[in-house]
């Protein structure tokens, strides 16, 4: 099994496109972080962050007097006032204009990791069929199940590698730009009871990475299943990427229907539970994990049945 996984990794990393993907991700992280740092307010003589928060609270207080505002807007404005006041009372620097602004912004690039890994996964099995090299794999003493698992594991390892690279490059580059100031800055979070709580920024960042990484695993498994079932890298990559980008739009349209919580895309964004904003009220992290586990088992079972039972001699 180990030799099979090493062989699959060789196939991935000997291709130029793999290194192009890694380079593109690094460039995007560096460029985005630099732009974020460049436009931060650093001019001498500028108002301190305490003065800025005080002015914002004064402006927000005036907005609350507007009778045209609906209740949701008033609650949102009041939450901003409370959060700003908490930072002032406890001398906590806002996340903006710190290294954490760029680091947390780079965490959104997990979507890019999903895209790249789906491309690799969609071509993993289908590419073997189109090039005819699948025959060379099947004449080995290893079973089809081991071949399938080795390919799948190599895809997950590639996604994890991109995740680690994203984290290291983002932390180091943003840290250098901001001279590693405010490293111990806490993350302020408003819980469901309306109380402001402090979280460890590093711990929350890794939670966000890991929870977003779950969606990467699901989409990669979907692409792997389609690649196995239809032997078409174009279909596997195209359908998975369509689902990746169109799924969120679909769920917005179906948000008001209770049954929509059972759809895959309603549970894919687990990071929403970190901020206390699930897809629908009443949904829990445990529920979403169970739903994702069910879809994962279905995708894996289909890929296994098709690849191990279907004639691949042609």
Mean pLDDT of the chain: 83
pLDDT digits (tens, 9 = 90+) for 87-118: 888 888 888 788 888 888 888 888 889 889 88
d(CA 311, CA 314): 8
Share of the chain above pLDDT 70, in %: 89
Residue 198 β-bridge partners: 188
pLDDT digits (tens, 9 = 90+) for 144-191: 778 888 888 998 899 999 999 999 999 999 999 888 888 888 888 776
pLDDT reported for residue 166: 92
pLDDT reported for residue 161: 92
pLDDT reported for residue 311: 63
Q: Which two tokens stand for residue 34?
A: 């630099």
Q: With 0.85 as the threshold, say if the pTM is over it.
A: no
Helix (H) or strand (E) holding 196, with range, is: strand 196-199
pLDDT digits (tens, 9 = 90+) for 27-71: 999 998 898 888 775 544 466 888 888 888 888 888 888 777 777
pLDDT digits (tens, 9 = 90+) for 17-38: 899 999 999 999 999 889 888 8
């Amino acid at each position: 099994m180990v030799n099979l996984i090493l062989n699959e990794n060789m196939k991935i990393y000997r291709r130029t496109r793999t290194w192009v993907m890694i380079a593109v991700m690094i460039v995007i992280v560096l460029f985005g972080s630099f732009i974020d740092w460049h436009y931060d307010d650093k001019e001498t003589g500028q108002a301190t962050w305490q003065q800025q928060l005080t002015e914002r609270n004064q402006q927000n207080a005036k907005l609350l007097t507007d009778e045209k505002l609906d209740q949701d807007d008033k609650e949102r404005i009041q939450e901003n006032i409370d959060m700003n006041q908490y930072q002032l009372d406890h001398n906590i620097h806002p996340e903006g204009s710190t290294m954490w602004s760029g680091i947390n912004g780079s965490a959104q690039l997990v979507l890019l990791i999903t895209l790249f890994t789906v491309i690799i996964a969609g071509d993993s099995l289908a590419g073997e069929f189109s090039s005819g090299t699948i025959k060379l794999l099947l004449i080995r003493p290893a079973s089809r199940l081991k071949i399938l698992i080795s390919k799948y594991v190599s895809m997950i390892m590639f996604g994890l590698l991109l995740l680690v690279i994203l984290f290291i490059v983002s932390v180091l580059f943003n840290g250098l730009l901001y001279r590693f100031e405010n490293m111990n800055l806490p993350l302020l979070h408003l819980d469901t009871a309306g109380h402001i709580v402090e979280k460890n920024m590093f711990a929350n960042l890794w939670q966000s990475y890991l929870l977003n990484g779950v969606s990467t695993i699901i989409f990669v498994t979907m692409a792997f299943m389609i690649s196995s079932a239809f032997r078409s890298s174009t279909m596997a990559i195209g359908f998975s990427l369509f689902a990746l980008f169109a799924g969120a739009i679909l769920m917005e349209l179906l948000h008001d229907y209770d049954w929509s919580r059972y759809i895959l895309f309603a549970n894919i964004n687990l990071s929403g539970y970190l901020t206390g904003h699930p897809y629908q009220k009443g949904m829990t992290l445990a529920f979403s994990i169970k739903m994702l586990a069910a879809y994962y088992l279905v995708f894996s079972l289909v890929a296994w049945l098709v690849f191990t039972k279907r004639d691949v001699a042609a």
